[in-house]
Structure 1
Amino acid sequence: MTRPLRKLYVALFLSVLLLLFGWSMRGVLSYDAPKQFTVLDGGLAKTFESHYDEHFPVKTLGTSLWAGLDYLLFNEGRPGVQIGEQGWLYSDEEFKPEADGPLHIRENLALIKGVRDELAQHDVLLLLAIVPSKARLYPEFVGDNQTSVLRQDLYQRFLNEVRTADIAAPELLSSLQAGKANGAMFLRTDTHWTPEGADLVAQQLSSTLKRSITLAGEPQVFITQASPVKAYKGDLTRFLPLEPLFSHLLPPPDQLRRNKTQAAEQAAGTDALFSDSEMPVALVGTSYSANPAWNFAGALRQHLQRDLSNHAEDGQGPMVPMLKYLQSDELKNAPPQLVIWEFPERYLPMANDLSAFDAQWLSALKQSDGNRHLVASDQH
């Protein structure tokens, strides 16, 4: 190598180091020390290290490069996502086999029946809203991804089992399939349904209830207002850390129109009337119900013409929020007439972390019989 060429290489190498050093300084300059910190035990150093590690450019570039290679060469993302066709992303929970899946199905079905019995002791009816998986509703974009044997007909078997146990559960899949002709029922880059899909399910639940029971209280008028459509990057894109090198490979963002539902009195500024209204319905479930972006609770209010209390939680699955509700003061002191339990089908074969609950109480809940049929042939 000639001396000029060697000097050029050295100069380029130093330039890259200088560039990375300058870029790394952004992480230093953007650091804000906490108002209360300790120096002697390393508390300040730990907060700085955590902040700098999060904003370290070499790490970001390396992550992006590796993710880009996985995406380009193998059409794969990080664990958590399955990449479909035409920009569709799916949660890998809808495809992968679950260790001890049949056992978890038996235990979860037993708990569901125990929930039914526990609510019945308070003279509360249970309506189970089984949300079909995104892959079941949109199999045309799944591509080469294969669903495990245990999950292939899980929705219908789940539905049949709870109906056999005298738990009301409307068939939501066919309604959502028909609704696809009028708009997207699930977001393309997200785990969840669209506000339109949530509204359609709320309509069907309301129709089911109106044919069988009369809700307490006077009907209320609820008004839904829609916001302008905005680009929305779904939660599944976080498993594709392609930025900044391969940002152009990311699926285009979804277009989301958020809805907001209010009682007519509340919309008119007369909150006192609204606050005195009865709540004959309680909603329990997952982020499908908890996240206001989908407005599922609001759609239920509008179609039921009744207010409701929402006990759904993000990131906890369907079982934990329900068990919390069973132990709540609200159920003990002011039980509703009806509980709507939103339960995505994909959670049925999954284990639950129930360590926060009393083991004897859980064992008593699981004493219900009749959960053998669903898993009799599942020994995979």
Structure 2
Amino acid sequence: MNRPVTTLYVALFSLLLVPTSLLALGGLADYKQPDEPRVLDGSLAKSVERHYDEHFPLKQVGINLWAALEYLAFGEGRAGLVIGQDGWLYSDEEFDPVAGGQRQLRDNLELIRGVQQRLAQQDVHLLLAIVPAKSRLYPEHAGAHRPSALQRSLYPRFHRAVRDAGIAAPDLLGPLQAGKQQAPMFLRTDTHWTPQGAEVAARALSEVVRSAVPLRGEPQEFVTEPLETRAHQGDLTRFLPLGPLFEGLLPSADSLQLRQTHAVGDGGDALFAEADLPVALVGTSYSANPAWNFAGALRQHLQRDLANHAEEGGGPLVPMLKYLQSEELKNNPPQLVIWEFPERYLPMGNDLSEFDPQWLAALRGGEQRTLAAASR
């Protein structure tokens, strides 16, 4: 940013900040001190700060004004967002280099190999569903933004590493690229795929399963029915705090057609009552959120019911590690585990503090050299 633009940026901010700050001083007039104010441990300062924050006049207006200035003048949102063209928004996790990414990539690949070995000990097959990044599938809407070298190499490196380790991982990028000619595969304002994209991925995965793993039980017919179509403001719009004052500046909402899958002739709740399920699904919000109907699409194309152990908000590793320690896997293992794993999570660190460090070390210790070497 050159000097004149920087000067204008600071001046505009000051013009916005000074009057609202003066008004905020009036909010301190009704401040009541704690019964036992303590200065040395910072409790008094925290009390004043909390009161100031709660009674800051025009707080939302200030947030909206500043967000609108950044968006209109500089094409930027809050940290975490990349603003593309034509109303497309992306997560910066798909573009920015990751501190310690190479080391974390190797650590995560070691865990993936350890997961496969633990499942194999119980005669459970692992199928890895590597979800391509939105920016990989739709680079044409990213404008001048380009992923870092690490991000560009992630998808092929991921596939090469797991293939060399003997882990099945069908290519989902090709089917999704073909599918986007007929329907949107990802949402413009969201990090996630559409129900159509989830259905394309489910069909591709099911074709591999049918040729590799004869699932127990009789095939069961599932049908997917369209529900209402609704406007959907994606999760990435949270990084553009323009509402309510400038809500009209937000990219137009996505059109999301909800779907629901059920067994033919089933009464409803009985669909999930069967205990001996041949397939388990583990993963992230791509699988856990019913709005995308990924689990339902898998049921339809596999012609089998499944247990869904995916979780939102924790990445792909935490729900899998929980599943490895579950009583369900111990007492009633499935034939197949489908692990949905978005590629952007591979070089990212994970909070695994809830798991025993020795157990994690043992999990990584199996054949870690195979994947570590393949990842280079």
* Counterpart residue number, 2:248: 248
1:333 paired with 2:304, answer: no
Q: 1:375 to 1:183 in 2, by over 3 A?
A: same
Task: Give the counterpart letter for 2:201 in structure 1.
Answer: V
Task: Give the counterpart letter for 2:200 in structure 1.
Answer: L
Preserved contact between residue 262 and residue 271 of structure 2 (Cα < 8 Å) = no
Question: Please, which of 289, 292, 311 is the counterpart of residue 290 of structure 2?
Answer: 292
CA RMSD in angstroms, aligned pairs only: 2.5
1:314-329 matches, within 5 Å, as 314-329=312-327
Deviations 1:80-104 (A, max 9, x none): 1100000000011101111100000
* Counterpart residue number, 1:138: 138
* Counterpart residue number, 2:300: 302
Task: Give the counterpart letter for 1:228 in structure 2.
Answer: E
1:12-51 matches, within 5 Å, as none
Preserved contact between residue 110 and residue 372 of structure 2 (Cα < 8 Å) = no
1:104 paired with 2:104, answer: yes
1:12-161 matches, within 5 Å, as 58-161=58-161
Task: Give the counterpart letter for 1:322 in structure 2.
Answer: M
Partners in 2 of 1:295 and 1:238 — Cα distance?
23
Structure 1: tracts of 5 or more residues without a match: 1-15, 25-38
Preserved contact between residue 217 and residue 278 of structure 1 (Cα < 8 Å) = no
Partners in 2 of 1:54 and 1:293 — Cα distance?
35
Preserved contact between residue 287 and residue 312 of structure 1 (Cα < 8 Å) = yes
* Counterpart residue number, 1:353: 351
Task: Give the counterpart letter for 1:76 in structure 2.
Answer: E
Q: 1:55 to 1:94 in 2, by over 3 A?
A: farther
Partners in 2 of 1:273 and 1:346 — Cα distance?
33
Partners in 2 of 1:260 and 1:277 — Cα distance?
22
Partners in 2 of 1:81 and 1:347 — Cα distance?
16
Task: Give the counterpart letter for 1:206 in structure 2.
Answer: S
Deviations 1:177-205 (A, max 9, x none): 00010000000000000000000000000
Q: What is the DSSP-based 3-state SS (H/G/I as helix, E as strand, rest coil) of the residue aligned with 2:351?
A: coil
TM-score scaled by structure 2?
Answer: 0.84
Deviations 1:200-237 (A, max 9, x none): 00000000111112101111111211112111100000
Q: What is the DSSP-based 3-state SS (H/G/I as helix, E as strand, rest coil) of the residue aligned with 2:110?
A: helix
Partners in 1 of 2:249 and 2:276 — Cα distance?
50
TM-score scaled by structure 1?
Answer: 0.83
**CA-CA distance at 1:264 after TM superposition:** 1.8
Partners in 2 of 1:57 and 1:188 — Cα distance?
34
Preserved contact between residue 195 and residue 293 of structure 2 (Cα < 8 Å) = yes
Task: Give the counterpart letter for 1:341 in structure 2.
Answer: W
Task: Give the counterpart letter for 2:318 in structure 1.
Answer: V
Deviations 1:55-74 (A, max 9, x none): 97611111011111111111
Task: Give the counterpart letter for 1:141 in structure 2.
Answer: H
Task: Give the counterpart letter for 2:182 in structure 1.
Answer: N
- The range that moved more, 225-234 or 366-375, is 366-375
* Counterpart residue number, 1:364: 362
Preserved contact between residue 284 and residue 322 of structure 1 (Cα < 8 Å) = yes
Preserved contact between residue 311 and residue 319 of structure 2 (Cα < 8 Å) = yes
Partners in 1 of 2:373 and 2:90 — Cα distance?
29
Partners in 2 of 1:325 and 1:230 — Cα distance?
34
**CA-CA distance at 1:278 after TM superposition:** 3.6
Q: What is the DSSP-based 3-state SS (H/G/I as helix, E as strand, rest coil) of the residue aligned with 2:370?
A: coil
Partners in 1 of 2:328 and 2:222 — Cα distance?
24
Q: What is the DSSP-based 3-state SS (H/G/I as helix, E as strand, rest coil) of the residue aligned with 2:163?
A: helix
* Counterpart residue number, 1:5: none
* Counterpart residue number, 1:312: 310
Q: 1:51 to 1:68 in 2, by over 3 A?
A: same
Preserved contact between residue 90 and residue 236 of structure 1 (Cα < 8 Å) = yes
Q: What is the DSSP-based 3-state SS (H/G/I as helix, E as strand, rest coil) of the residue aligned with 1:257?
A: strand
The percent of aligned pairs where both chains have the same amino acid is 62
Task: Give the counterpart letter for 2:92 in structure 1.
Answer: D
Structure 2: tracts of 5 or more residues without a match: 1-18, 28-33, 38-45
Partners in 2 of 1:287 and 1:115 — Cα distance?
20
Q: What is the DSSP-based 3-state SS (H/G/I as helix, E as strand, rest coil) of the residue aligned with 2:225?
A: strand
Task: Give the counterpart letter for 1:184 in structure 2.
Answer: P
Deviations 1:276-332 (A, max 9, x none): 474100000000000000000010001101010000000000000000000000000
Partners in 2 of 1:56 and 1:216 — Cα distance?
63
Partners in 1 of 2:329 and 2:129 — Cα distance?
20
Partners in 1 of 2:271 and 2:81 — Cα distance?
46
* Counterpart residue number, 1:205: 205
